[in-house]
């Protein structure tokens, strides 16, 4: 069996009205994904998605004609390519999907997992005031979620803390709250500096008093000393690593004891192959491994299979912020949008590979030419 073709297409839908996510000063008027398809000479196809695969076509010859099951070899080539060029890790994910279809098994079982579900936390995104935040949190609890992530979204962290306090009051002590501080990175046009350690300390103290489960991205992604100090001093878990570019950076984060919760995304770094190794290192160090999943349905599925397969968790990010960000919009190109059940569990399909079903009609309609 050989790889016969690697096809990449770009798809876009309009967001009307635009969606004002907390980490972006510009409301988003559209949503785009790249679909990667790896086809074999025997007619099988593996699929994955990412934000962009621009420029990959020039290097497809490094994979075409090879056995798709040489995943370790393909990962090594991708590691080189991603250093020199873009984040092309969706190809690794498509190869895992293809391997699952070849062997007739779901990816999470290929990784050694036995259970097919993980608890999801509702990961919210939009800018809201206290009243709206309370109402949304109560609606999420009524829907079955037992954990909710809020995002700090103003230039006044004290006002944000008051909003977290309002949500805690609304949902009670039995619901876990996570808080993303949005300090690890910036959009290209956003020149605001990240917090200094002194500010992060004050926020950590306030969040700990509200019994927040973890504090995410409280400092710049490269402030290893600050993260280690904050983790030592604060009475709250410190989480991060969502857009880290290279796997070796996670080894540094582990060795320098910067984080309690590692949140890599297999689309951004390492693919499923590389992050399975990072998960093993996290487990040896006694750390939590729960991937970042903000993106479309295939990205969520890939990170979910990874989490279930390697024994990560106990929570997995589920992007959900109704009415603006819901599965039908997030997963617009899937015939079966990914939903949680009534008790807040994300249950993986038991079909081979990732178990995704593409909506080919929608893909034709949304193709960016």
CA distance 13 to 260: 37
Residue 153 has pLDDT above 90, yes or no: no
Query: Which residues, at least 6 apart from 139, have a Cβ–Cβ distance to it below 8 Å?
Result: 322
| Residue 98 near residue 2, CB atoms below 8 Å | no
**What are the pLDDT digits (tens) for 220-255?**
999 999 999 999 999 999 999 999 999 999 999 999
Annotated domain spans of the chain = 3-104+360-365, 110-347
pLDDT confidence bin for 154, thresholds 50/70/90: confident
| Residue 154 near residue 168, CB atoms below 8 Å | no
CA distance 174 to 270: 35
Neighbour-count burial for 80-95, b at 16+ CB within 10 Å, e otherwise:
ebbeeeebbbbbbbbb
pLDDT for res 305: 98
Please compute the mean of the pLDDT values over residues 179-198 and round it to a whole number.
95
Q: Which two tokens stand for residue 190?
A: 């956003």
Residue 196 has pLDDT above 80, yes or no: yes
HSE, side-chain direction, 13 A CA sphere, residue 134 = 11
pLDDT for res 138: 98
pLDDT for res 112: 96
CATH number of 3-104+360-365: 3.30.390.10
pLDDT for res 10: 96
Closest of 32, 6, 31, 3 to residue 16, by C-alpha:
31
Residue 341 has pLDDT above 90, yes or no: yes
Second-level CATH architecture of 110-347? Alpha-Beta Barrel (3.20)
Q: In what order do the strands lie in the sheet with 45-50?
A: 3-19, 28-40, 45-50
CA distance 59 to 55: 8
Angle (deg, nearest 10), helices 130-142 and 157-171: 40
Tallying the residues shown for the chain, one arrives at: 369
pLDDT for res 368: 96
pLDDT confidence bin for 89, thresholds 50/70/90: very high
CA distance 184 to 338: 28
Q: Which two tokens stand for residue 281?
A: 């290192």
**What are the pLDDT digits (tens) for 282-295?**
999 999 999 999 99
pLDDT for res 272: 98
| Residue 90 near residue 267, CB atoms below 8 Å | yes
pLDDT confidence bin for 116, thresholds 50/70/90: very high
Residue 155 has pLDDT above 90, yes or no: no
| Residue 328 near residue 337, CB atoms below 8 Å | yes
**What are the pLDDT digits (tens) for 260-287?**
999 999 999 999 999 999 999 999 999 9
Please compute the mean of the pLDDT values over residues 346-364 and round it to a whole number.
97
DSSP H/E element including 249: helix 247-255
What is the overall mean pLDDT for the chain?
96
CA distance 134 to 137: 5
pLDDT for res 320: 98
* β-strands 315-319, 147-151 pairing: unpaired
Q: What percent of the chain has pLDDT over 90?
A: 97
Residue given tokens 């178990």 in the structure block: 355
C-alpha separations of 190 from 15, 26, 128, 194, 223 in Å = 22, 10, 20, 11, 19
Give helix then strand counts, H and E, for the chain.
12, 12
**What are the pLDDT digits (tens) for 160-188?**
999 999 999 999 999 999 999 999 999 99
**What are the pLDDT digits (tens) for 30-56?**
999 999 999 999 999 999 999 789 899
pLDDT confidence bin for 211, thresholds 50/70/90: very high
DSSP H/E element including 43: none
Please compute the mean of the pLDDT values over residues 123-131 and round it to a whole number.
94
């Amino acid at each position: 069996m050989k790889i016969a073709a690697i096809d990449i297409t770009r798809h876009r839908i309009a967001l009307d009205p635009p969606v004002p996510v907390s980490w972006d000063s510009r409301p988003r008027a559209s949503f785009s994904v790249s679909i990667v398809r790896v086809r074999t000479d025997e007619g099988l196809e593996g699929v994955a998605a990412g934000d962009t695969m621009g420029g990959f076509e020039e290097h497809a010859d490094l994979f075409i004609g090879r056995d798709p099951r040489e995943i370790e070899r393909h990962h090594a080539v991708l590691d080189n390519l991603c250093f020199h060029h873009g984040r092309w890790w969706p190809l690794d994910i498509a190869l895992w999907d293809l391997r699952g279809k070849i062997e007739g098994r779901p990816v999470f079982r290929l990784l050694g997992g036995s259970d097919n579900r993980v608890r999801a936390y509702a990961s919210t995104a939009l800018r809201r005031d206290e009243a709206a935040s309370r109402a949304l949190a109560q609606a999420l609890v009524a829907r079955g979620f037992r954990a909710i992530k809020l995002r700090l979204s103003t230039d006044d962290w004290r006002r944000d803390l008051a909003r977290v306090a309002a949500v805690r009051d609304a949902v009670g002590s039995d619901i876990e709250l996570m808080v993303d501080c949005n300090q690890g990175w910036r959009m290209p046009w956003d020149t605001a500096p990240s917090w200094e350690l002194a500010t992060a300390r004050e926020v950590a103290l306030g969040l700990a008093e509200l019994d927040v489960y973890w504090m995410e991205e409280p400092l710049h992604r490269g402030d290893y000393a600050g993260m280690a100090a904050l983790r030592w001093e604060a009475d709250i878990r410190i989480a991060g690593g969502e857009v880290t570019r290279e796997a070796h950076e996670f080894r540094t984060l582990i060795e320098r004891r910067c984080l309690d919760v590692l949140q890599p995304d297999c689309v951004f770094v390492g693919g499923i192959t590389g992050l399975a190794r990072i998960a093993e290192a996290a487990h040896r160090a006694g750390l939590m491994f729960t991937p970042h999943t903000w993106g479309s349905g295939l990205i969520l599925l890939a990170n979910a299979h990874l989490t279930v397969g390697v024994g990560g968790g106990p929570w997995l990010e589920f992007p959900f912020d109704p009415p603006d960000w819901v599965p039908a919009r997030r997963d617009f190109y899937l015939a079966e949008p990914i939903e949680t059940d009534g008790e807040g569990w994300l249950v993986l399909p038991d079909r081979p590979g990732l178990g995704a079903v593409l909506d080919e009609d929608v893909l034709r309609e949304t193709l960016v030419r």
